[in-house]
Amino acid sequence: MDPRHRRGARLRHHQRDVARGGSVPARRQAHRRVARGLGEPVFVTHLVFFCGHAGTGKTTLAKRLIGPLMRATGEAFCLLDKDTLYGRYSSAAMGALTSDPNDRDSPLYLKHLRDPEYQGLLDTARENLALGIGALVVGPLSREVRDRRILDRAWLGIGPEIALTVVWVHTAEDVAHQRIVARGNPNDAYKLAHWDEYRQRRFVPTGHECDGIVMFDNTAPSDADIDALLYRIVPPAPQATMVPPLPA
């Protein structure tokens, strides 16, 4: 057995013990489950993607959910935001290549830096999952949602013991534009200066493209909306069926 999986198993046993002493939702979600295709009980570790375009509030939503998710599952989680992990690197690279450290949308960036950054993001998520730590991954990932790679476990490099959820975070284009202007992030300068070009790439899943994806309108979500999303990610465990004993 891979040593990482042994460490992950020990951590999941610890999480189970913690959850048993915690809240009802934590105890409910920390129980033993059998993953499809495996013959022995395992503990579920969660991989949750928060995808969507700039200004939709992906990071804010992930931060709002990470505490409730830890309480509901009894599981440790990490937050992996592409901008946090690679923002400084991208600025240095694009500054050297184009003299514009704020460029995240030019053809050069999209061709040469975008995919390696995402692969690094997924590599980091897999390392945490192997240790029994759930991962909330934040990034646009619009290409991967459009071509369905985001749901391909082989492409992601995860097994059936990982509970996978993909959340597409969306809001109206004008709302997103207002938020981008208001936050004043220098990395948005190229995007705002080339908005008409950028908006042509604003893909939003519709119809069958939404299959397997949780669509979340993040314009002004209520507490009830957040609770509903939490239960989409961590559904209540099914009630055990009690079979009456056979008559003697």
Are residues 59 and 146 in contact, defined by beta-carbon separation less than 8 angstroms?
no
pLDDT digits (tens, 9 = 90+) for 48-97: 999 999 999 999 999 999 999 999 999 999 999 999 999 999 999 999 99
What's the order of all strands across the beta sheet hosting 214-217? 77-81, 134-138, 45-51, 162-170, 214-217
Quickly count: other Cβ atoms within 10 Å of residue 153's Cβ: 12
**Cβ-based neighbours of 170, under 8 Å, separated by 6 or more:** 52, 53, 56, 204, 215, 216, 217, 218
pLDDT digits (tens, 9 = 90+) for 127-167: 999 999 999 999 999 999 999 999 999 999 999 999 999 99
Q: How big is the chain by its Cα radius of gyration, in Å?
A: 20
CATH architecture observed for domain 3-233: 3-Layer(aba) Sandwich (3.40)
Strand runs (DSSP E) across the chain, as ranges? Answer: 45-51, 77-81, 134-138, 162-170, 214-217
Least-confidence region, from 15-19, 196-200, 211-215: 15-19
Interval 210-215 mean pLDDT: 97
Q: Angle 58-73/223-233 helices, nearest 10 degrees?
A: 60
Domain edges within the chain:
3-233
What is the model's pLDDT at position 190? 87
Query: Please, which pLDDT band fits residue 38 given cuts at 50, 70 and 90?
Result: very low
Portion of the chain with pLDDT greater than 90, in percent: 68
Are residues 192 and 55 in contact, defined by beta-carbon separation less than 8 angstroms?
no
To 5 degrees, how large is the angle CA 224–CA 228–CA 233?
A: 145
Interval 27-50 mean pLDDT: 61
The token pair at 98 is 């184009």
Interval 113-130 mean pLDDT: 97
Mean pLDDT for the chain overall: 85
